[in-house]
Amino acid sequence: MHRRAVKVLVCLTWLIICSASVWGQANFYEGKTVTVLIGAKSGSLEIAAQIVSHHLGKYLPGKPAVILQHMPGAAHLLATNNVFNVAKPDGLTILAVNRANYLEQMVGRPEVKLDFRKLNWVGSFNRAPMMIACRKDSPHTCIEAMRKAKNPPRFGEGGTGSISYVFSNLVAEVLDFKVKHVTGYGSAREIDLGLERGEADCRATSDITLVRPPWPTWVQQGYIAFVIQQGPTKSRVLPETVPTIHELAPAGAKPTLNLMEIMVAYTDFDRPFATSPGVPRDKLQLLRDGFEKMLTDASFQQEAKKLVDWDGASYFSGADLQKKIEKTVTQPPDVIRRIKDILKESDS
């Protein structure tokens, strides 16, 4: 009888402990505030961070308040370094990550005080693959025409450090044509005006550019030709007939094609969010689960579609994004050297 009583007592004790743990999980965020940190005061990522701050709290246990905090500086790295090195690993700080900053780590920029692979990734929504579009009245309406043209296509660029500059150079290397860069434009709209004025023939940009003026009008009027898209998965907004680089690339170009996929890997995770290293696994899972549930919210989808043209389908779970970042950033020395050379050339 005594032994049975001991067993019952042990079982009751474990039941109480487990119940307390479950209750704590279910109410962890109650009465607390989650901060979404963003390293800029404007731009599409800042808009995405606003949208997440509007809706995420509904899908975290205890329905905490969620606020947006701006920490601009060093091209988003001030905020990113803060989350990695300063923020408490308690699951109460989420970072809206600049999607391309991992390249700064790969080339060893001194401003980077973190390892992107050791951030705890919460999730991402939206894809924004790259493309090349040219004026239809130019002699550059397809890759073969670019190869044969007497003068190389002129690409409008903000500067030599832009991803559009790097992307167009890599595409030209893979598909064997020459480019001429027209740099110095202060904004995307200025590059559009440069095309309209005839200062440039082509643009390398993300496919979601199509949703903002003047691109819908250009498409309707047949003003531009879509020459190539990133791939290997085709864009949801470009015509199905637009070939991917993977479809046209010769077998010998595979090393450069692989390099391009590393350097523009972030087009798969256009709006990523992460939290600090050391956040307990159970708290990280609450954030990841809440993030995915948020993506199914009708009001979130409506706001995301309107403001950042989210298609409601393309996203990375936190676990999958963690693997993607690990695979992308972990590269052999020869690849790192090649990336350094490309970015050095673009900065010179």
3-class secondary structure, 165: helix
Fold agreement (31-126+270-330, 130-265)? yes
pLDDT at 197: 96
pLDDT at 189: 87
d(CA 37, CA 72): 10
% helix, strand, coil for the chain, step of 5? 50, 15, 35
String of DSSP letters for 13-68: HHHHHHHHHHHHHHTTTTT-EEEEEES-SSSHHHHHHHHHHHHGGGGSTT--EEEE
Band of the pLDDT at 347, cuts 50, 70, 90?
A: low
pLDDT (tens digit per residue) in 81-110? 999 999 999 999 999 998 888 988 998 989
pLDDT at residue 267 tops 60: yes
pLDDT at 22: 42
Band of the pLDDT at 41, cuts 50, 70, 90?
A: confident
pLDDT at 158: 82
Average pLDDT over the chain, rounded to whole?
89
Burial class (CB in 10 A: 0-12, 13-18, 19+), 31: exposed
pLDDT at residue 21 tops 60: no
Phi-psi map region of 211: left, alpha, beta (phi>0 left; psi -120 to 50 alpha): alpha
Provide mean pLDDT across the span 165-179: 92
pLDDT at residue 210 tops 90: no
Q: Cα separations (Å) of 328 from 17, 79, 110, 146, 263?
A: 41, 22, 20, 31, 9
- Looking at 8-17, 193-202, 270-279, which range is the least confident one? 8-17
pLDDT (tens digit per residue) in 115-136? 999 999 999 998 889 999 999 9
d(CA 72, CA 42): 10
pLDDT (tens digit per residue) in 270-315? 899 999 999 999 999 999 999 999 999 999 999 998 888 888 888 9
Band of the pLDDT at 10, cuts 50, 70, 90?
A: very low
Looking at domain 130-265, its CATH superfamily turns out to be Periplasmic binding protein-like II (3.40.190.10)
**Matching CATH number, 31-126+270-330, of 3.40.190.150, 1.10.10.10, 3.30.70.260, 3.30.70.1450:** 3.40.190.150
pLDDT (tens digit per residue) in 329-342? 999 999 999 988 88
pLDDT at 17: 44
pLDDT at 18: 41
3-class secondary structure, 182: strand
pLDDT (tens digit per residue) in 241-264? 999 999 999 999 999 999 999 999
Q: Which residue shows structure tokens 């205890």?
A: 62
Provide mean pLDDT across the span 183-211: 90
Q: Which residue has the higher pLDDT, 5 or 207?
A: 207
For the chain, percent of residues with pLDDT exceeding 70 = 91
Instruction: Please give the model's pTM, rounded to 2 decimal places.
Output: 0.81
Band of the pLDDT at 141, cuts 50, 70, 90?
A: very high
Band of the pLDDT at 42, cuts 50, 70, 90?
A: confident
Instruction: Indicate the domain borders of the chain.
Output: 31-126+270-330, 130-265
